[in-house]
Chain A
């Protein structure tokens, strides 16, 4: 239990182990731990950044969706309007066409009536003349009263 030269030997051991720790143990481990700390910090900040970017992207996509919806509804409204317009136009055209057809038919009917009247006039005149001839055969010369008959025909 006495103090002796073991002291010197132990001091040498101690110095050797301090030297090993100082040179070969502590620096590489410290570096590894510091690097890892940095990596973790970087990773966390990257995750934070990613989260922010994701939020921005979500907002952007929502905006785009809303815009697209607006555009679609606008387009649909325009198309409806246009369809209405086309229907209106078609209606107008059809009316004009129909009017034209009606007018044409009327004109034709008028013509027919006129012609029928003409024929009728001629027939009445002939009939009248024939009747008159029969009545007047005895007393009147058809040729002598032609101008009277003519004016009669005109009066019809």
Chain B
């Protein structure tokens, strides 16, 4: 709602899409942070808290997990983890102690961060405003910094997996000879670079774009005043599908990339 007096529609949207940023005083222009050495505190804190709560809880539960009849929470966690593990088994045929935990982390964390979208758009900024925090972007996955951080991490793990499974020589051989053979090595190399760079970019932008667009629709609905009520609920219900799907897609593509890295062409 455009309750914040005197704020224009554009200003309201702009306000909602601005991160709470901190940086050195010298980097500020017109009171806003510019340059690389800026930290989005809202993204960092919300994603960190969600992760710490979720993975701390899961670790605590896993510590006292029994092989007997599982209790309610253990059952739930096992169900989620079992689903992820099944996807890994179906797609990734190598042996690795990393891929399943990686997939679990991605699915759970991305799902929870996406789920922040379901909290009414004005709720958290208003609460934060009461404490003197002027900007708050509640959904961490609408910050490209987060999605790129994840996809680039996945990218490096992918390269590490390549080196581990094929060795340096094998990896280089694959880069320069697949798919057209040794005679067209430069073309193979260019193809490979494009292919590999496209992976983290598409991974990050897909999640960011979906969540950003979803958040934008929520903000636009919130602008309708009283009429937002019949619209926000269906969109939220529909959004449950999107947040789950996006978490699943990020996880699934990561597994696929890992399996491509672990298998020779």
Contact = CB atoms under 8 A, between A and B. Distances in A.
B188 to A, nearest CB: 30
Nearest to B17: A1
Nearest to A28: B62
Contacts of B40: 4, 6
A21 B58 CA distance: 8
A22 B97 CA distance: 8
Contact of A7 (B63, B74, B85, B145): B145
Interface residues of A, number: 33
B223 interface: no
Contact of B59 (A4, A14, A20, A32): A20
Chain B binding surface SS class: helix
Given A11-B152, A18-B105, A4 B35 contact: yes
B36 A25 contact: no
A29 interface: yes
B78 A33 contact: yes
B131 interface: no
Contact of A5 (B38, B100, B109, B148): B38
Contact residues on B (Cβ < 8 Å of other chain), bracket: 35 or more
Most-contacted residue by chain A among B33, B101, B109 (CB, 10 A): B101
B13 to A, nearest CB: 13
B67 interface: yes
Contact of A29 (B56, B78, B148, B150): B78
Interface string B89-105: 00000000110111011
A27 B100 CA distance: 10
Contact of B43 (A6, A20, A25, A26): A6
A6 B38 contact: yes
A136 B135 CA distance: 189
A22 to B, nearest CB: 4
Interface in A21-74: 21-22, 24-33, 35-36, 39
Interface in B75-130: 77-78, 81-82, 85, 97-98, 100-102, 104-105, 109
Contacts of A39: 67-68
Interface of B: 17, 19, 21, 33-40, 43-44, 47-48, 51, 55-56, 58-59, 62-63, 65-68, 70, 74, 77-78, 81-82, 85, 97-98, 100-102, 104-105, 109, 143-146, 148-150, 152-153
16 contacts: A4-B35, A5-B38, A6-B38, A6-B143, A10-B44, A10-B150, A13-B51, A18-B98, A20-B59, A25-B58, A25-B59, A26-B62, A28-B62, A31-B65, A32-B78, A33-B78
